[in-house]
Amino acid sequence: MTPWWDQQTAILIGAIGGSAIGVMGGVYGTLVSMLAPKGIGRRPMLAIHLALVGFGVAVLIAGIVAVSTGQPYLVYYPLLLGGGILSFVMGGLFPVVRTRYRQAEARKLEAEQFRRE
């Protein structure tokens, strides 16, 4: 089996991909922590969240395919690591983010009812 890429490409994929995942996660987390308690941007933020989970699952599946087809460590490791982190971390945090938006919506409804009284 011919490797999908060489060692130098694997290093670039790991460095650039890992940095991108870290920066995306940090930016997304910061935005959610600022916007979710206020109930701002629910649909786009949850859509971005699900897109990141989907991308993570796709990369994880590519890593599993790489392992099952006998690709070397330098091919499957970056795929499994990046896909695993995105899939499990973002997938695990989705219910938390959705709950924060639901709490904000409940607070808005409660405040609206209080104003009417």
Q: What is the pLDDT of residues 73-107, one digit of tens each?
A: 999 999 999 999 999 999 999 999 999 999 999 99
How far apart are the C-alpha atoms of 21 and 28, rounded to whole Å? 10
Is 110 inside any structural domain?
yes
Domain that holds residue 45: 29-116
Q: What is the DSSP letter of 72?
A: -
pLDDT given at position 113: 85
Cβ proximity of 9 and 73 under 8 Å: no
Q: Over range 7-29, report the average pLDDT.
A: 92
Q: Over range 13-37, report the average pLDDT.
A: 92
Cβ proximity of 83 and 58 under 8 Å: yes
How far apart are the C-alpha atoms of 18 and 77, rounded to whole Å? 12
Q: How deeply is 25 buried, as exposed, middle or buried, from its count of CB atoms within 10 A (0-12, 13-18, 19+)? A: middle
Cβ proximity of 47 and 32 under 8 Å: no
pLDDT given at position 72: 95
pTM, whole model, 2 decimals? Answer: 0.85
Is 7 inside any structural domain?
no
Q: How many structural domains does the chain have? A: 1
